[in-house]
Amino acid sequence: MVLRAIVRPLIYDQFCAGTNPSETRAKISQIKSLGFSGVILSYGKEGQIQESNTGSHTTDPGASCGDQDLELWKRGNLETLDMITAGDYLGIKMTGCGKSITNDLLQGKDPPKSFIDAIKALVQRAKAQNSRIWVDAEQQAVQPTIDRWTVDLMRKYNRDGQVIFYNTHQAYLKASRDKLEHQLQLAHGEGWTLAIKLVRGAYIESDIRERIHDTKAQTDESYNSIVRDLLIGNIKGVPAGQNTPHMRLFLAGHNPYSVSQASNLVRTLQDQGALKILPEFGQLQGMADQLGCELIQQGEDTLAQAVGAGTSPMAVPRVYKCLTWGSIQECMQFLVRRAVENRGATGAVKDGMPALAEELRRRLVNVFVRRRRISS
């Protein structure tokens, strides 16, 4: 009880949407009122992987409930889908299925029928409401199997112009570009749509250090160069001179330079008629909130300029906010990663608050002005 009293106001409320559906729906409504195109909502439950003295990886030694854990995970994600609407995303973590599934991931096994059935239930609900599902990256001990299972899901469900599943690529890994090019070649050759969420990476405290770029500058270059090459179509797996019909791109990031560079490049390439793929943007709740507001404003300005000039408006990137919900206990591992990412970043968080307040004030003024015009 004391821990909750400390954690909730200091960190939970900063980074999490709510402990129950009522709180979470209120947060989603608030986010969308600021002009965000939608949300990515994740159920906070995930598994804990530990490294033994021998260097092997094991799951949390707590009791395993097998199918019961999987059923709870499925229910939690179905409840999450009930809180979002068309165009939104459901974010899932495969280790949240429990110890049995996590062991399968560690051992590189094929997904069991019980997991496939749970996924089918999520897909059925997501399709019915026109939502999408992205699979979060997790620790390197389980990531190769997560990638394999997710590629199989994209191969099955991302067809005929419909996209359900997104895979997460972490640019801080040295193999990130090779993995992207391989999956893009698979998608192009087999006729399905590769959908990726590109991030820098969030598991530096637990991932195998040798697989991560040696410096932050190298990670920045990895992320920025992948974005640039995808937008201009200069990447293996994309036939020369063609758009990328077998790909969707979501740029998740909190680095102001990377976000600004990507946004500016999108507009430049659109002006030249050379943009190969229109990305979506998003940031986590509580991190670099001002970036999302700036992207929204840029999009609104672009549309307003087109209307003023009497020209057809260009498509503008949609901007999302990534939210996590669940009890403090369920969200604890998520909160630990946010604390690690934000060490020394207190000033940046504070800097973002005036931008959010100003954005809310601007929109309230616009609503008031519009109402006065209507009434007059």
pLDDT classification of 344: cutoffs 50, 70, 90: very low
C-alpha of 14 from chain center: 18
Mean pLDDT of the chain: 86
Give the pTM: 0.86
Which segment of 39-53, 110-124, 290-304, 348-362 scores lowest on mean pLDDT? 348-362
pLDDT value of position 54: 46
Question: Per-residue pLDDT for 96 more than 90?
Answer: yes
**pLDDT by residue (tens digit) across 33-89?**
999 999 999 999 887 666 544 455 555 544 455 689 999 999 999 999 999 999 999
Residue 360's pLDDT is 46
Say whether pLDDT at 238 is over 50: yes
Residue 311: which pLDDT band, with cuts at 50, 70 and 90? Answer: confident
The confidence score (pLDDT) of residue 56 equals 57
- Determine the pLDDT at residue 358: 55
Quote the pLDDT of residue 268.
94
pLDDT band at 207 (very low <50, low <70, confident <90, very high): confident
Least confident of 241-245, 293-297, 331-335, 339-343: 241-245
Percent of the chain predicted with pLDDT > 70: 82
pLDDT digits (tens, 9 = 90+) for 151-181: 999 999 999 989 999 999 999 999 999 999 9
Mean pLDDT of 188-196: 94
